[in-house]
Amino acid sequence: MNYLRNRAGTIIVVFIGFAIVAFLLGDIINYGTPFWARHQNQVGSINGEAIDINTFNVQVDQTSEMFRQQMGGGNLSPQMKSWAVQQVWGQYLNRELLKSEVERIGLSVGKTELNDLVQGDNPSAQIQQAFRNPQTGQFDRSQLSTFISQVNTLPQGHEAHGQWEALLQNVIDERLSTKYNNLVSNSIYVTTLEANAAYSQRNKLANFEYVLLDYQSVPDSAVTITEQDYKDYYNENKGVFKNPEETRSLEYVVFDASPNAQDTARIRTTVEELKTQLAETKTDSLFAAVNSDTKYPYIFYKQGQLSPALDTLVFGAPVGNTVGPVLDNGRFEIAKVVESLVGPDSVKASHILLNPAIEGGMDKANAKADSIKGLIEKGESFAALAIQFSTDENSKINGGELGTFARGSMAPFEDAVFGAKKGDVVVTSSQFGIHIINVEDQIGSSRYVKAAIIDKQINSGRETLEAAYRQATQFFGEVGNADFQEAATKQGLSVLKADQVTAMETMLTGTEVPRELVRWAFDADKGDVTDKIHESENHYIVARVTGIRKAGQLPLEAVKGEMEEVVRNRAKAKKLIAQAEEAANGATSLAQIGQKLGKTPAQAENIVFANPVIPGVAQENAVVGTIFGLQPKQPSKPIRGSQGVYVVEVTGFVNPEAPADLSTQKQQLSQSLSQRIWSLAFQALQDKADVVDNRARFF
């Protein structure tokens, strides 16, 4: 201790000095680290605007929930989750890219305009999509009204508020995008010269004869491809070999673990047992909710709302009967018919909502509701009372109006309103409070059945999974000591290939793969084999990285393989052009050239510039383009096409009548350009932007 006390000053100085050096070194080290290491919580950035992973995740969850609701509940597939991620990223990209443009121009969306986009006569497409009736597939305005009414009664911080705010922001972004697109579209102008040229390209006909010297007529061994040949083609077509984002090439083997006949029989036996129990139970809805893979709502169904086979059985069975099982889309379904009635298809109603917490408890709220009901029955204005007493801020401003809604869209008080008569005032409770409801009108009449429904997805059993996994394990062990293709051939397995795999890919040539596999591929080196057997819902997969392509201009060596056939054909073309030129020497017609080459000229009729296809041969842009610049009855010089070398002779052109009015032509061209203008403008903004995409690290 004496030693430390005597030297305390020195120790403190050294310690502080060390801390300062460490801080400076840390800053230097941090400066040299890559973006992803310094921004661990950023899913990306757009023009310097960072996107926090937590905020991004919230929006992905909200979008996923919307997808799930639109699909009628249940779990989302990995593909659907990937779409949710892509949609949210696209929204960020669209918003940030337009942000500076919109601010510069001064575009905005006002409150009245936003209200019209949400609840007007023609709501935004995003509103219509979010509140689509899963049974009819149509926009359900009553669902929208119900959601707004309910969300206004929920406490701040509830996830429904976040979903609603995110949806409104998307509606605003969509509207701003439309306004910007309209501005750009209105800048389009089609000249008379352009309209005339387009009309001619679609209507002027060319008739010609041709002699084709096919590339296949020259053996591959007859030509030698030089390095210069590759370089020439590469330099002429550099734009083709630009990679917009980093990709991987993979070869892989899939081991199928899909359900087999034994699995189907096993699930059917389970469903038959559940059918017996469902028929005997006294708690139909609870039993169905506990035992069904899909949580079907316990409501009245109209004929046509269930799967076709189950629908037929349910509406043909007496009350109390249990029907099924039927097979639909890979699952067995059974149902117990609980009740049957003939009732209205939709109801027009208004309501007053009381909050028991504000009123001092449920008893006081019920007493107040009865008093309000009494006033209404004595002739008091329902609308005035709604404005005075209702806690539903969205509907009270309209006198409590809920609009017209169908069965299934007002679950909290559906039985009360559909069980009442036109003109009735009913009081009922829900999780939102006490409702005083005025049934203004009932529309339509159909038969409805209340049913408790249970379904079971046919999934793979343990034996099926273990058999596939044993095969995958055997291959995985072999491939560690042998060539990938060799190991697969030895076991009689097919090797699949996938090129241009992006970092956010979820499918490989039609097979759904786990995101973990793709993330591994982007961390691996060329030639690496997966470090484990990857598993998807019904597959086991072993893969190997066969190629890596960085973003940007690809080097010649990376694309040699894919250009080899074209380069070889170009080498063959040199030989064939020499043959054609020799045959053309001294010839005055195509027939004479064909005779020297041992070819009979073929005919092509009614060819237009806008569709450069030679019938029975191929699309030949260079050939058809050359034809429209030739004079009739004069053989052309040899033309290098995609299928071979051509010598052509125009027999005649058929010129169309000059259009009396080019306004229609101009309008068609303008519409065509307008349809492409937004994607072109968006791509231009994206090309100029500084976009960092780290999604693959998180999803």
Q: Tens digit of pLDDT for each residue in 533-558?
A: 998 878 999 999 999 998 889 899 88
- Quick one: pLDDT at residue 410? 72
Residue 61 has pLDDT above 60, yes or no: yes
CA angle 162, 164, 166 (to 5 degrees): 65
Q: What is the pLDDT of residues 300-322, one digit of tens each?
A: 888 888 999 999 999 999 999 99
The average pLDDT across 612-617 equals: 94
CA 329 to chain centre: 22
Residue 450 domain flag: no
User: Cβ distance 210 to 521 under 8 Å?
Assistant: no
Residue 199 has pLDDT above 70, yes or no: yes
User: Does residue 105 share a domain with residue 165?
Assistant: yes
What token pair was written down for 70?
């639109």
Judge if 253 and 239 occupy the same domain. no
pLDDT higher than threshold 70 for residue 30: no
Domain count, the chain: 6
Does this model's pTM top 0.95?
Answer: no
pLDDT for the residue 25: 46
Final residue in a domain of this structure, among 310, 343, 376: 343
Are 137 and 57 contained in the same domain? yes
| CA-to-CA dists, residue 609 to 33, 199, 207, 627, 652, angstroms | 55, 10, 12, 9, 14
DSSP β-bridge partners for residue 258: none
Q: What residues does 447 pair with on adjacent strands?
A: 342
Instruction: List the one residue out of 389, 269, 382 whose CA is nearest residue 334.
Output: 269
DSSP state of 411: G
Which regions of 344-489 does DSSP assign to beta strands (E)?
346-354, 401-406, 425-430, 433-443, 446-457
Distances (CA, A) of 170 to 98, 130, 542, 676: 13, 11, 40, 22
Look up residue 1 and give its amino acid. Answer: M
Q: Per-residue pLDDT averaged across 340-365, rounded? A: 87
Instruction: Looking at the structure, tell me whether residues 507 and 525 fall in a common domain.
Output: yes
What single letter denotes the amino acid at residue 291? N
The domain that contains 435 carries what CATH number?
3.10.50.40
In a domain, 82, yes or no: yes
Q: What was the pLDDT predicted at 139?
A: 85
Mean per-residue pLDDT for 218-227?
93
Average confidence (pLDDT) over 225-251: 91
- On the question of pLDDT at 128 being above 50, the answer is yes
- 279 versus 419: the higher-pLDDT residue is 279
Determine the Cα–Cα distance for residues 593 and 589; give it in Å rounded to an integer: 7
Do 568 and 616 lie in one domain? The reply is yes
Predicted pLDDT at 31: 42
pLDDT digits (tens, 9 = 90+) for 483-498: 898 889 988 999 999 9
Per the CB < 8 A criterion, the answer to whether 530 and 542 are in contact is yes
Mean pLDDT, rounded, for 640-665: 91
* Residues contacting 56, CB < 8 A, separation 6+: 43, 88, 92, 698
660 lies in some domain: no
Average pLDDT over the chain reads 86
Q: Are residues 25 and 62 in the same domain?
A: no
Domain-embedded: residue 678: no
- The reply to whether 520 and 612 lie within a common domain is no
Candidate from 63-67, 260-264, 309-313 with smallest mean pLDDT: 63-67
The gap from C-alpha 541 to its chain's centroid, in whole angstroms, comes to 24
Q: Nearest Cα to 280, choosing from 318, 234, 322, 310?
A: 322
Q: How is residue 584 written in tokens?
A: 């053309």
> Would residue 451 count as lying in a domain?
no
Q: Please indicate, yes or no, if residue 274 is contained in any of the structural domains.
A: yes
Last residue of a domain, one of 414, 443, 472: 443
- pLDDT at residue 588 is higher than 60: yes
Please, what sign has the CA dihedral across residues 49, 53, 57, 58? Answer: negative
Q: What residues contact 120, with CB distance under 8 A and at least 6 apart? A: none
Q: In this model, does residue 8 exceed pLDDT 70?
A: no
pLDDT, position 28: 41
State the pLDDT at residue 662: 84
Q: Which range scores top for mean pLDDT: 382-391, 606-615, 680-689? A: 606-615
Coil vs helix vs strand at 644 = strand
Last residue of a domain, one of 531, 550, 569: 550
Question: Same domain for 50 and 174?
Answer: yes
Instruction: Examine the domain organization and report whether 100 and 156 are in the same domain.
Output: yes
Q: Can you say whether the dihedral through the CA atoms of 262, 264, 267, 268 is positive or negative?
A: negative
**Same domain, residue pair 431 and 480:** no
Residue 236 lies in a domain: yes
220 plus 150 within the same structural domain: no
In 3D space, the residue among 410, 579, 476, 90 whose CA is nearest the CA of residue 254 turns out to be: 476
Give the HSE-up count for residue 270: Cα atoms under 13 Å, Cβ half-sphere.
19
Closest of 631, 625, 634 to residue 592, by C-alpha: 634
254: which DSSP letter?
A: E
Q: Could you tell me if 50 and 141 lie in one domain?
A: yes
Peptide bond between residue 325 and the one before it cis (omega within 30 degrees of 0): yes
Looking at the domain assignment, is residue 632 inside a domain? yes
In b/e form, how buried is each residue of 470-506, taking b as 16+ CB within 10 angstroms?
ebbeebbebbeeeebeebbeeeebeebebeebebbbb
Residue, of 21 and 668, whose pLDDT is higher: 668
**pLDDT at 600 > cutoff 90:** yes
d(CA 328, CA 330) in angstroms, rounded, equals 6
Which structural domain, as residue segments, surrounds residue 486?
247-258+461-550
